[in-house]
Structure 1
Amino acid sequence: MRLSYIIDLIIAMMGSMSNQRTLDTRRVDSHIEKLNQLVWFQQLFAEEKYRKLFITNYKIRHYLDSPFRVKRLENSTKTQERFLKLLNKQLAKGRKRSI
């Protein structure tokens, strides 16, 4: 493992332990712009149901607030698959609430 990966992991873990941290809206939006340069993300963003999650869903925005997670999304297809599962889980929760 690379040292930078381990350091990023430790920082991400420390950040998740602190529940006092608020979302940085500008950072989330810049991460979305950065990810939108990738074809797989463009396809997700083109679908209205996912685009709404990127804008309104706290869990998704919290996920995208992390530079570590965004870097992983850029480089790992497994992480991209897990992210898609998270999106679909959040969609399912939203549907249950609206019923």
Structure 2
Amino acid sequence: MTFDKAAWADERGKYDGESRRSAMVPQLGSAGIATGASRRAVRMLLGEPDSAGPSADIYYLGRSATGPSFEIYRIEYDAGGKVRTAQVQRS
């Protein structure tokens, strides 16, 4: 699956259940979510996060395909607002 900005946006707020976002995560690097990208650029591509803090944005990926947990895509920013890390996490 390729990255689809509209499909990503349609999944906003879906914490539980299936989400099309998980299948798009491998393409996010080539879409522009990479170390050094600005928070503004990330949000222009992915839209407003489902949750945010001063140094991180979180996008819900729905229920994990491998178990009863939920997955998020967490993007952490450095003091200058540039991507430091971006990874899938399970909760």
Give the TM-score of the pair, scaled to structure 2: 0.30
Looking at secondary structure, tell me which structure has more helix per residue. 1
TM-score normalised per structure 1: 0.29
Structure number with bigger Rg = 1
